[in-house]
């Protein structure tokens, strides 16, 4: 709502000029985008960690199988 300087507002509240209103609206949009980017990054990072953990467990399993096979051969 635009109110001329010196006029009384028809409601109780805080008035912002067009620049402040634009900043508030833009800030909300950028905060959402920033959150989505951070969330995507953290999800990818977690997936990479899970992939690494699985690879390490597979290596450990293969090593244990080899060791077991050698024990059986003796």
* pLDDT tens digits, 47-68: 999 999 999 999 999 999 999 9
Residue 64 lies in a domain: yes
| Residues 6 or more apart whose Cβ sits within 8 Å of residue 16 | 24
Residue 57 lies in a domain: yes
Q: How far is CA 19 from the centre of its chain?
A: 29
Per the confidence metrics, is the pTM higher than 0.85? no
Residue 14 lies in a domain: no
Residue 58 lies in a domain: yes
Number of domains within the chain: 1
- Enclosing domain of residue 52: 47-73
For residues 25 and 16, the answer to whether their CB atoms sit within 8 Å is no
Query: pLDDT grade, residue 1 (50/70/90)?
Result: low
User: Is the pLDDT at 3 greater than 90, yes or no?
Assistant: no
Residue 52 lies in a domain: yes
Give the largest CA-CA distance in the chain.
99
Residue 28 lies in a domain: no
Residue 5 lies in a domain: no
Query: pLDDT grade, residue 74 (50/70/90)?
Result: confident
C-alpha to C-alpha distances, 55 to 50, 51, 60, nearest whole angstrom: 9, 6, 9
């Amino acid at each position: 709502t635009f109110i001329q300087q010196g006029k009384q507002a028809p409601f109780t509240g805080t008035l912002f000029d067009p620049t402040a209103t634009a900043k508030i609206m833009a800030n909300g949009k950028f905060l959402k985008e920033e959150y989505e980017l951070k969330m995507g990054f953290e999800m990818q990072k977690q997936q990479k960690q899970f992939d690494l953990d699985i690879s390490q467990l597979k290596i450990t399993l293969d090593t244990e199988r080899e060791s077991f096979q050698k024990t059986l051969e003796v």
